[in-house]
């Protein structure tokens, strides 16, 4: 197997679009979602949407939310 340094030398000479594809492939390989966490997020988002449709949860303007967290 090639060393990381050897792979870097090869990657540097790639076309910028190919380098981006390489970086995306590497990052994608590191992102291993946990199926249980994914199920929890889906259930939570569906519950919030249902509450919104029933009028139990109000939508907030994005600009107002950003203002709350500005420094």
pLDDT of residue 1: 84
Question: Across residues 44-70, what is the average pLDDT?
Answer: 94
Predicted TM-score of the model (pTM): 0.49
pLDDT of residue 63: 93
pLDDT tens digits along 7-34: 999 999 999 999 999 999 999 899 888 8
57 to 22, 27, 51, 53: CA distances (angstroms): 42, 36, 6, 8
Residue in 6, 4, 41, 58 with CA at minimum distance from that of residue 26 = 4
Sequence-distant (≥ 6) Cβ neighbours of residue 12 within 8 angstroms: 19
Q: Where are the domains of the chain?
A: 1-32, 33-71
Rounded to whole angstroms, how far apart are CA atoms 6 and 49? 50
pLDDT of residue 20: 96
Question: Across residues 47-71, what is the average pLDDT?
Answer: 93
Rounded to whole angstroms, how far apart are CA atoms 17 and 50? 42
């Amino acid at each position: 197997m090639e060393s990381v340094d050897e792979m870097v030398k090869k990657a540097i000479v790639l076309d910028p679009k190919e380098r981006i594809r390489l970086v995306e492939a590497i990052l994608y390989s590191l992102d291993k979602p946990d199926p249980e966490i994914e199920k929890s997020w889906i259930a939570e988002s569906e519950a919030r949407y249902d509450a919104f449709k029933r009028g139990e949860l109000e939508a907030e303007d994005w600009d107002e939310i950003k203002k709350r967290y500005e420094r």
